[in-house]
Amino acid sequence: GQNIDQPTEMTATEGAIVQINCTYQTSGFNGLFWYQQHAGEAPTFLSYNVLDGLEEKGRFSSFLSRSKGYSYLLLKELQMKDSASYLCAVSHAYSGAGSYQLTFGKGTKLSVIP
Amino acid sequence: EAGVTQFPSHSVIEKGQTVTLRCDPISGHDNLYWYRRVMGKEIKFLLHFVKESKQDESGMPNNRFLAERTGGTYSTLKVQPAELEDSGVYFCASSQLWGQFFGPGTRLTVL
């Protein structure tokens, strides 16, 4: 089976750095996604890691360790608009290009305070 | 480029009624996925289309749920008859090679 754990809630101050952790146990691992979701809106793609290491994209970075079943999303220079839920999702491929399903964690609700 | 769209955004029905949700994927995306989020739980996979064919429907809860994608463009998800536990947000996503792009979801409430 698949199991993904991430903290339920986090609070951080505007301008600070926050790290959201995700641990997973899964079979057929084919990559890990991070999504941002504001209330009532679509999950928005943030990052994708398939190899170990750090992927940096502007203020957001994501890290993956496949041997440890561990990932984190790092948000720098926090802004009020970063208040949202952050979803960790593991990809399982089964056939063909683009053919995979995502297993999601419950999401981490981040509150950015002044 | 238009994103994934879903209709309706909200639906409130009574137990036993039928509801049909629609998803229009990003143009040219062969892969279309349905997911559901029940209150308090994580988003869960329902099924996956490649063009008009069902690639994987292992996540469908039971035979009250029927998904179609005639012509390989838009998809519909019909719930008949709806039960209270079907309430939740139904998301559609599409992809070509990688990176699933999600629609805003349909919030279904069964009374």
Q: What pLDDT digit, counting tens, does each position of B65-107 carry?
A: 999 998 889 999 999 999 999 999 999 999 987 788 999 999 9
Kindly report, residue by residue over A22-62, the tens digit of the pLDDT: 999 987 788 999 999 999 899 999 999 999 999 998 999 99
A87 shares contact with chain B (CB less than 8 Å)? yes
Instruction: Decide if pLDDT at A75 tops 90.
Output: yes
pLDDT for the residue B79: 97
A27 shares contact with chain B (CB less than 8 Å)? no
Is there a contact between A33 and B102 if contact means CB atoms under 8 Å apart? no
Contacts 24+ apart (CB under 8 A), A2-8: A2/A26, A2/A27, A2/A90, A2/A92, A2/A103, A4/A88, A4/A89, A4/A90, A4/A103, A4/A104, A4/A105, A4/B42, A5/A105, A6/A86, A6/A88, A6/A105, A6/A106, A6/A107, A6/A108, A7/A108, A8/A106, A8/A108, A8/A109
pLDDT for the residue A30: 85
A95 shares contact with chain B (CB less than 8 Å)? yes
Q: Residue B42: its chain A contacts at CB < 8 A? A: 4, 104-107
B57 shares contact with chain A (CB less than 8 Å)? no
pLDDT for the residue A2: 72
pLDDT for the residue A95: 52
Instruction: Decide if pLDDT at A94 tops 90.
Output: no
